[in-house]
Copies of this chain bind each other. A is one copy, B any other.
Amino acid sequence: VDGIDLFLDEVAGAEHRDIQFVPKAERYDLTWGHPDPTLLPVDELRVAADAVLSHRGWQALSYGTSEGAGRLRHALAERLGRGTTADELVVTHGSSGALDLVLGLVSEPGDVVLVEQPTYFLALRIIADRRLRIVGLPPGAHLAPAVAEAATAHGGRTFLYVIPTHANPTGRTLGLDERRALVATAAEHDVTIVEDEVYAELGTEVLPSLADLDPERVVRLGSFSKTIAPGLRLGYVRTTAERAAALAGCGVLDSGGGINPFVAGIVADLMETGAYGRIVDRLGATYRERMAVLLGTIDDAHLPAGRPTAGFFAWIRAAQGDLVAAAADVGLAVAPASSFCVDRIAPTHARVSCSLLGPADLAEASARLASVLAGRGRTCGV
């Protein structure tokens, strides 16, 4: 018993269920995009929470400004750089709340949202809850021409939801040329892009986001779930100052006094003291090491979306057969490709995550995955 198991012992006898995570039957669970509990910056948060309540108590506990705490938005604008200003930022309930908030403002029921295949499956639920039509782009297609073709075919108001960096579930990062081509295509076909950049800070190189390339046409979503902790439920939207003001003017944000002023005050404190930068550097490096361990035994032929160097996820392809079933035979839980697609996809593909397990578990899981892919279990080799 180590890693996540050690922590789960803590909650096994709990009277009430507080956490989302439920362990799979398999010994090595590569399905969850959750951080390893040992990586959560509990001590830094304890210090920051105490500092906020000691020095700014009533301000952190009062109704906040609709657009979110000024200190956080200014610190964040500085960190995002590339010309980002505080008045372009709205604090949100994670990137999930950000996506829902943005769709509520800019879309009408019945509009089309284009998505890559595979893509983040729960974003599809948020989009569907807003009564929008989801159209999946062809799996593996080059993004810019696929968007051009789909937008032309549709004709009506069209959005694109995309994760440019260390994507969920593929780990793929769009290069700078691909980013430029994509925003040019979007401009040509009048497509509004919503980019979900929750993993962007975890890499060694931060490319310009799509919003950096075209701030008018691209709404950027961000989150502190991966760079601090998911339980904080704090994220943000970057858009034009005009659209940011319209988001902040919605009834929920005005009535509630912004999103999570108390937590926003804590995150602002982490940024101002420099703790945030240290936490992100530590988490990013740890996940990069873990990704290298997880993929160390995996041949390029099994990585159709490329070899991710950072973030949480990689996309695995077996030559044939059902990869989820074959992995389960050797004690591995992997996430089925069908979860991430609108259209049908072969069961040869699956998502694996390096975020939850420690390096020893990941090394063993990697060896077992390699053996499955080499055809030494069910027929899944190249």
Residues on A facing B (Cβ under 8 Å): 7, 10-11, 14-21, 34-35, 37-38, 40, 42, 45-46, 49-50, 53-54, 57-66, 69-71, 73-74, 86, 93-94, 96-97, 99-100, 104, 109, 122-129, 225, 229-233, 250-252, 254-263, 265
Contact = CB atoms under 8 A, between A and B. Distances in A.
A244 to B, nearest CB: 14
19 contacts: A10-B59, A15-B70, A15-B71, A19-B261, A20-B63, A20-B65, A46-B57, A64-B231, A94-B256, A123-B251, A125-B254, A126-B251, A126-B255, A129-B252, A231-B261, A231-B262, A232-B262, A233-B257, A233-B258
Contacts of A230: 61-63, 257, 261
A125 B250 contact: yes
A309 to B, nearest CB: 25
Chain B CB within 10 Å — which of A69, A123, A231 has the most? Answer: A231
A371 B39 CA distance: 63
Contact of A251 (B64, B128, B254): B128
A300 to B, nearest CB: 31
A162 B123 CA distance: 33
B20 A69 contact: no
A96 B64 CA distance: 14
Contacts of A65: 17-20
Contacts of A97: 93, 252, 256
Nearest to A57: B42
B70 A16 contact: yes
Main DSSP-derived SS at the A contact region = helix
B50 A18 contact: no
B260 A260 contact: yes
Nearest to A68: B18
B58 A257 contact: no
A94 B261 CA distance: 12
Contacts of A70: 14-18
A229 B262 contact: yes
Given A46-B53, A93-B93, A74 B16 contact: yes
Contacts of A257: 20, 230-231, 233
A356 to B, nearest CB: 10
A173 to B, nearest CB: 22
A263 B50 CA distance: 14
B7 A58 contact: yes
Nearest to A223: B256
A319 B36 CA distance: 66
A126 B10 contact: no
